[in-house]
């Protein structure tokens, strides 16, 4: 870690709570549609719809809401009533208006690292929503740069490294998703620290075979300070 110049933080479920709100929304959606299918089937179909739509809508709440609307129409054979559609839209607005709850230790870590490293946010999702969350979080002042990425694959991180004008070995990524925040960094020669969140979207899960011993895992973000 002696070579690190830039520390990048994932945002959702690394700096603040996020996935919990999606799980709550999915459960309410399943109850709204329970007259048409079992809740388990509704969850399965919604997930399939989200994955199908990623290439069109990308990541974030707005794409999630559109997927819920499409899923409701299809599961109901286009008989869903207007009030239910309206409630789905309200669920999305409520998600966008959720308070920003920082995870334990986040601001403590940022305070201690600021000045010693260039701190950036490297996240994916809807640009407007992520900017809103950063503004509301009260921690934007700690970051030199914010990068809202369309995806988090090796090529996306290589573009970020080029933009930062550093070598891959000079970047440390801290995040909750092995698939998006950790394994791509390891592959390109950067460092990564995994901070698991108690809930993970199925799309972000990886198999045991994909896991390696080339990154560190901590139970709380404050533990990253012991590496630096």
pLDDT value of position 209: 57
133 HSE (CA, 13 A, CB side): 28
**Are residues 92 and 64 in contact, defined by beta-carbon separation less than 8 angstroms?**
yes
Strand (E) or helix (H) holding 19: helix 19-32
Question: Which superfamily is assigned to 6-16+100-227 in CATH?
Answer: HAD superfamily/HAD-like (3.40.50.1000)
Token pair of 104, please? 């334990």
Say which residues have a Cβ less than 8 Å from residue 49's Cβ, sequence separation at least 6: 67, 68, 70, 71, 74
CA distance linking residue 11 with residue 68, whole number of Å = 24
Domains 6-16+100-227 and 19-96 share a fold: no
Instruction: Give me the average pLDDT of each 10-residue run along the chain (228 residues).
Output: 93 94 96 95 96 92 96 96 97 95 97 96 90 94 92 94 96 94 94 87 62 84 95
Class of domain 19-96: mainly alpha
Q: In the 8-state DSSP scheme, what is residue 189?
A: T
Token pair of 136, please? 């509301």
Mean pLDDT, rounded, of the chain: 93
Share of the chain above pLDDT 70, in %: 94
Domain regions of the chain by residue span:
6-16+100-227, 19-96
pTM: 0.89
């Amino acid at each position: 870690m002696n070579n690190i110049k830039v520390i990048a933080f994932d945002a959702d479920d690394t700096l603040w709570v996020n996935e919990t709100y999606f799980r709550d929304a999915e459960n309410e959606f399943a109850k709204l549609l329970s007259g048409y299918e079992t809740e388990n089937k509704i969850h399965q179909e919604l997930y399939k719809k989200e994955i199908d739509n990623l290439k069109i809508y990308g990541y974030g709440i707005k794409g999630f809401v559109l997927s819920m609307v499409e899923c409701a129409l299809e599961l109901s054979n286009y008989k869903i009533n207007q009030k239910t559609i309206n409630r789905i839209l309200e669920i999305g607005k409520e998600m966008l208006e959720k308070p920003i709850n920082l995870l334990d230790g986040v601001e403590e870590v940022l305070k201690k690292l600021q000045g010693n490293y260039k701190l950036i946010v490297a996240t994916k999702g809807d640009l407007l929503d992520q900017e809103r969350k950063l503004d509301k979080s009260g921690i934007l002042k700690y970051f030199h740069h914010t990068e809202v990425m369309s995806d988090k694959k090796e090529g996306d991180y290589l573009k970020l490294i080029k933009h930062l004008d550093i070598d891959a070995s000079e970047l440390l990524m801290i995040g909750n998703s092995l698939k998006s925040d950790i394994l791509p960094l390891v592959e390109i020669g950067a460092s990564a620290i995994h901070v698991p969140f108690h809930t993970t979207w199925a799309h972000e899960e990886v198999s045991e075979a994909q896991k390696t011993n080339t990154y560190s895992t901590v139970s709380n973000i404050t533990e990253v300070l012991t590496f630096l």
